[in-house]
Structure 1
Amino acid sequence: MSDTSLTIETILSPELTLCRVAASSKKRVLEFIAELVNQQDATLSETQIFNNLISRERLGSTGIGQGIAIPHCRLEGLDRVIGVLLTLEDGVSFDAIDNQPVDLVFALIVPKEATSEHLELLSQLAEKFNDRNFCEQLRQCSDAPALFSRMTQSGD
């Protein structure tokens, strides 16, 4: 397996894919992501992840419009990329560029020494989320397995 190219399929796990999460604020969404990642890997600090996500948001919202946010951060001591996919029960204010509430969140936590591969991954995500039909399908998923399988299917 010399091919190390990162794809959504390789970084997202069913355990980190959740449907219709109840969250009242952007801060709560980011806390939830940090808790979730820490539950999957206790060596990763929940506080550190949350703080790093918040710091990144301070530079500018990761709400990319049309109800979608791609919060991301780098994490010291991480050896792989972790993806977290959530749909939210109700849209939350995310300071998005179009000021629309966000209900579709894909978080990306990458190693401190992130490479161009990680940027490539962000652009893959942005491209997928640019497709309104695709986003609608994600929003209509009523359980995590359906959401996971929809997100990781390649092609259309």
Structure 2
Amino acid sequence: MSDTTLTIDNILAPELTLCRVQASSKKRVLEFIAEHIHEHDSSLSDTQIFNNLVSRERLGSTGIGQGIAIPHCRLEGLDHVIGVLVTLEESIEFDAIDNQPVDLVFALIVPKEATSEHLELLSQLAEKFNERTFCDRLRQAEDPATLYERMITENT
């Protein structure tokens, strides 16, 4: 592996880590994520991010089971990968593969050209989220700082 390998800790910023967000639907969560990315970097269009996330969901739900979703999309004009971690106040329907509602969401927005990095990150995330105790610790975080710390420091 080279030093340029993307890891979760270099794509997730503390200000894009959010705890106990109120969201009534999958659409609302995706809107919230897109708006939050736009607030973090106003050069990125929240509408474009939202539309790309929705288009990706139409291909098949990114709900991977056990209350977890990893919505992701490519974005024209983006030059780095953006991660957003959100825990939800209440679980929502996400058409997940196990039909369970989702309360843990990690969104991944990648440059249009990114391919192998994108897949590598998705597999890193899936591996981490496959660990039930890790997910429980994320869900128990009471504030964004704790959630961020647990996401980037705990190894599965």
Normalising to structure 2: TM-score of the pair? 0.97
User: Partners in 1 of 2:79 and 2:91 — Cα distance?
Assistant: 32
User: Partners in 2 of 1:92 and 1:109 — Cα distance?
Assistant: 21
Cα deviation digits, residues 22-63 of structure 1 (max 9, x gap): 000000000000000000000000000000000000000000
Structure 2 residue 143 is matched with structure 1 residue 139: no
Structure 2 residue 123 is matched with structure 1 residue 123: yes
TM-superposed CA distance for 1:117, in Å, is 1.4
Match in the other structure for 2:5: 5
User: Partners in 2 of 1:42 and 1:147 — Cα distance?
Assistant: 24
User: Partners in 2 of 1:55 and 1:25 — Cα distance?
Assistant: 16
TM-superposed CA distance for 1:4, in Å, is 1.4
Match in the other structure for 2:43: 43
CA contact (8 A) 2:134 2:154 kept: no
What is the Cα-based RMSD across aligned positions, in Å? 0.9
Q: For structure 2, which runs of at least 5 residues remain unmatched after alignment?
A: none
TM-superposed CA distance for 1:154, in Å, is 4.5
Match in the other structure for 2:19: 19
Match in the other structure for 2:152: 152
Normalising to structure 1: TM-score of the pair? 0.97
User: Partners in 2 of 1:65 and 1:124 — Cα distance?
Assistant: 16
Which stretch of the first structure deviates more once superposed, 109-118 or 20-29? 109-118
TM-superposed CA distance for 1:141, in Å, is 0.3
TM-superposed CA distance for 1:125, in Å, is 0.2
Match in the other structure for 1:59: 59
SS at 2:17 equivalent:
strand
SS at 1:27 equivalent:
helix
Query: After TM superposition, which residue ranges in structure 1, 4 or more long, deviate above 2 angstroms?
Result: none
CA contact (8 A) 2:61 2:95 kept: yes
Indicate the percent of aligned positions where both proteins have the same amino acid: 77
Letter in structure 2 aligned against 1:152 = I
Cα deviation digits, residues 50-80 of structure 1 (max 9, x gap): 0000000000000000000000000000000
Match in the other structure for 2:76: 76
TM-superposed CA distance for 1:3, in Å, is 2.3
User: Partners in 1 of 2:41 and 2:137 — Cα distance?
Assistant: 29
User: Partners in 2 of 1:153 and 1:10 — Cα distance?
Assistant: 12
Letter in structure 2 aligned against 1:85 = L
